[in-house]
Amino acid sequence: MKPTSAQLRALARRDPALGRVMRRIRPGFPGFPAGSMRRWSRYQMLARAIVFQQLAYRAAATIWDRCCALTPGPGFPRPEELARISDARLRSAGLSRNKALSVRDLAARVADGSLRLRSIHRADDAEVLERLCSVRGIGPWTAQMFLIFKLGRLDVLPTTDLGVQEGLKILDDLPARPTPAELAARGAVWAPLRSVAAWYLWRLVDGEVDW
């Protein structure tokens, strides 16, 4: 889902400071890094999020590639494939014990139908968060990224995200990053396009606009 031109104009009017940023950056929400995350399955995206947590990108990418190489095909082992892979092989690919348990929990829930990813887009944001956070190793931030970048939800504000906090610090010329509560309060004006506002704040931190 993408915001309409009218919605974007209304957002810029509600927050003139953000509006100045919006006029300087080519619209692109939700925006993806170079690559093909949009083409990944929902299961693949969540498995990747677990693997990449708390690791430097290069190290995580190496482990991800090794995990993908454990089975035929280019992606992470499917739920039924993962069930046949021993813990020792997962550990040899670089997964920690906790992450191995987490991807197994995700795979098991998908396999037994307790986590129905094919139909999860029909649930509202709160329900998606609840379902995903029931999986070991998936917290609110990961679930919010899934909502924004996989389901295209327009009104999600990841208040614990350091990039969004830093973006607001730059936007409002604050002496320090806002707390999650401060960011939530400041971001109320961005509803119902809080995901879009977050996307522009990430672009501001990336240096895509001279502020």
| Integer CA distances (angstroms), 104 to 46, 85, 89, 160, in order | 12, 10, 13, 26
Torsion sign over Cα 202, 166, 4, 116: positive
Active site annotation includes 15: no
Question: How many CB atoms are located within 10 Å of the residue 2 CB?
Answer: 13
CB-side neighbour CA atoms (13 Å) of 74: 4
Task: Report which residue type is found at 111.
Answer: A
Q: Choosing from 65, 161, 172, 173, which is the catalytic residue?
A: 161
Torsion sign over Cα 57, 58, 64, 68: positive
Q: H or E element: which one contains 34?
A: none
Active site residues: 161
